[in-house]
């Protein structure tokens, strides 16, 4: 058996007829960028999440930057976010000229720690808080909204890994002033190329984001302010409409796979299984276990030798990466949970087209491996 960590080609095969028809429709229509498919997708995705407005953009990194800018964040403003995330989160903050200040995460959810955020907000006057709903889990939005409110900061949610995740029954991306999604092919809602979207609460912010994504144009060729080019193309929008129709089902299958992993891996030595907070309904973008006793890398090697795709999300927290090391502000108490997680996390294969017997195979190989390493 050869089991990939994720497998976007199977997503194409599962909906081949509808995706091929979408391709034909766009090619024959003759509008290739920002046309009827993009408009329809924006409406459908807004309806699906329950957000008032959706603006399609070129990718998730742009979506984070645009969501921050549409929320009033400007060059020089401090933005509190996490170090335990895709580097794109922090890169987007810096690209608009804002200054990231990094908080620690909770060991349980792998998301922003409210205690750490409170320390950071007391020391830095942050214009915005940018929590990341990592792995399809949810950050503690009760505590984060309350803290941001008390300190006069906007909240922008990075939902690139959390399409459909909910906190106390409310969809990720509908808590803050704005939210950013990525449709990179391996995400829960993936295009077949790059894509992203911004969700915003009010009409003004939506208009601002729409202008920003196209040179600041107010009407064709007339810029009100300096913007840039970050448009969603019609092919990707048409594909996303097809895939959105299956997202509920795909997330449901991810939940089944997660509970199968939970059942089969529960009694193994030296492992901690992912824990969703009691308020969180996760969508399992990734299934990330922790392997203790310094054995993670050896366990990863043995799984890879048996053709099982595993990964570390992420091998280095942002504040320790060569591009950022030593120059980013962090919680004065350091980021101990972030650094601890980094040495223990292991992502197991997770995508909606994994078969039960493939999950069982991963579990039996991981079981054998951990029992051997602990003998």
Nearer Cβ to ligand PLP (86/299): 86
| Packing angle of the helix pair 36-49, 234-244 (nearest 10 deg) | 30
Q: For the window 192-231, what string marks contact with ligand PLP as x by the rule CB under 6 A?
A: --x-x-----------------------------------
Residues 102, 319 contacting (CB under 8 angstroms): yes
Nearest to 165 by CA among 254, 62, 259: 254
Binding mask 30-59 for ligand PLP (x = CB under 6 A): -----------------------------x
- Residue 328 is a binding residue for ligand PLP (CB under 6 A): no
**Judged by CB under 6 A, does residue 86 bind ligand PLP?**
yes
The answer to whether 286 touches 313, Cβ cutoff 8 Å, is yes
Nearer to ligand PLP, 138 or 366 (CB): 138
Going edge to edge, which strands form the sheet with 329-330? 53-57, 196-200, 178-182, 154-158, 126-130, 78-82, 99-103, 329-330
Indicate the SS3 state at residue 344. Answer: helix
Cβ distance to ligand PLP smaller for residue 164 or 265: 164
Q: Helices then strands (H, E): number in the chain?
A: 13, 16
Q: Within a 10 A sphere around the Cβ of 163, how many other Cβ atoms?
A: 29
**Quick one: 114 or 131, whose CB is closer to ligand PLP?**
131
Least distance from C-beta 220 to ligand PLP, angstroms? 27
Interface stretch with ligand PLP, choices 21-29, 86-94, 200-208, 286-294 (CB under 6 A): 86-94
Please report, to the nearest 10 degrees, the dihedral formed by the alpha carbons of residues 307, 309, 310, 314 taken in order.
140
User: Cα separation of 188 and 229, whole Å?
Assistant: 25
CA dist., res. 67 & res. 160, Å (int): 12
Question: Per CB under 6 A, does 236 bind ligand PLP?
Answer: no
In the complex, minimum distance from the CB of residue 314 to ligand PLP, in angstroms, rounded to a whole number = 9
CB 69 within 8 A of CB 57: no
State yes or no: residue 132 binds ligand PLP (CB under 6 A): yes
> Is residue 179 near ligand PLP by the rule CB under 6 A?
no
Under the criterion CB under 6 A, does residue 88 sit at the interface with ligand PLP? yes
Q: Which residues contact 59 (CB under 8 A, 6 or more apart)?
A: 182, 184, 194, 195, 196, 230
Task: Give the count of alpha carbons within 13 A of 45, CB side only.
Answer: 34
Distances (CA, A) of 40 to 20, 35, 37, 147, 177: 18, 9, 5, 36, 23
> Least distance to ligand PLP from the beta carbon of 167, Å?
16
The tokens of 6 are what?
């994720």
Residue nearest to ligand PLP (CB): 60
User: Of residues 37, 158, 233, 281, which one binds ligand PLP by CB under 6 A?
Assistant: 158
CA dist., res. 9 & res. 374, Å (int): 37
Q: Which is nearer to ligand PLP, 60 or 100 (CB)?
A: 60
Residue 176 as a binder of ligand PLP (CB under 6 A): the answer is no
Sheet holding 271-272, edge to edge: 271-272, 287-291, 345-348
71, 85, 211, 337: which one binds ligand PLP (CB under 6 A): 85
Nearer to ligand PLP, 177 or 194 (CB): 194
For position 172 contacting ligand PLP by CB under 6 A, the verdict is: no
Q: Is 178 in the site for ligand PLP (CB under 6 A)?
A: no
For ligand PLP, give the closer residue by CB, 71 or 369. 71
Among 81, 110, 113, 161, binds ligand PLP (CB under 6 A): 161
**Which one, 59 or 137, has the nearer CB to ligand PLP?**
59
> Binding ligand PLP by CB under 6 A: which of 98, 120, 160, 359?
160
Binding site for ligand PLP (CB under 6 A): 59-61, 64, 85-86, 88-89, 132, 158, 160-161, 182, 184, 194, 196
């Amino acid at each position: 058996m050869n089991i990939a960590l994720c497998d976007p080609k199977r997503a194409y095969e599962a909906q081949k007829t509808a995706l091929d028809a979408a391709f034909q429709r766009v090619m024959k229509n003759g509008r290739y960028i920002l046309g009827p498919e993009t408009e329809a997708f924006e409406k459908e995705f807004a309806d699906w999440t329950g957000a008032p407005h959706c603006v399609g953009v070129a990718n998730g990194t742009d979506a984070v930057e645009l969501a921050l800018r549409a929320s009033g964040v400007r060059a020089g403003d401090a933005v509190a976010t996490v170090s335990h995330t895709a580097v794109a989160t922090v890169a987007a903050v810096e690209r608009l000229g804002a200054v990231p200040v990094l908080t620690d995460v909770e060991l349980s959810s792998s998301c922003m720690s409210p205690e750490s955020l409170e320390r950071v907000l007391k020391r830095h006057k942050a214009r915005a808080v940018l929590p990341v709903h990592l792995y399809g889990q949810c950050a503690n939005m009760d505590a984060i909204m309350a803290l941001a409110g008390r300190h006069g900061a906007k909240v922008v949610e990075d939902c690139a890994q959390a399409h459909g995740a909910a906190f106390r029954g409310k969809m990720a991306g509908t808590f803050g002033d704005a939210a950013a999604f990525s449709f990179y092919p391996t995400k829960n809602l993936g295009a077949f190329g790059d894509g992203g979207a911004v969700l915003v609460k009010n009409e003004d912010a939506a208009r601002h984001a729409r202008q920003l994504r196209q040179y600041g144009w107010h009407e064709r060729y007339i810029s009100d302010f300096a913007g840039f080019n970050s448009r969603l193309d019609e092919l990707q929008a048409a594909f996303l409409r097809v895939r959105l129709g299956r997202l509920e089902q795909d997330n449901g299958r991810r939940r089944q796979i997660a509970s199968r992993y939970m059942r089969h891996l529960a009694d193994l030595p030296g492992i901690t299984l992912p824990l969703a907070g009691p308020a969180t309904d996760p969508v399992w973008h990734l299934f990330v276990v922790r392997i203790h006793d310094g054995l993670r890398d050896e366990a990863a090697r043995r799984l890879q030798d048996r053709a099982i795709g595993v990964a570390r999300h992420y091998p280095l927290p942002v504040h320790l990466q060569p591009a950022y090391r030593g120059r980013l502000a962090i919680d004065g108490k350091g980021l101990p949970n972030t650094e601890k997680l980094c040495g223990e996390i292991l992502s197991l294969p997770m995508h909606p087209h994994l078969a039960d017997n493939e999950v069982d195979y991963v579990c039996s190989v991981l079981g054998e491996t951990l029992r051997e390493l602990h003998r």
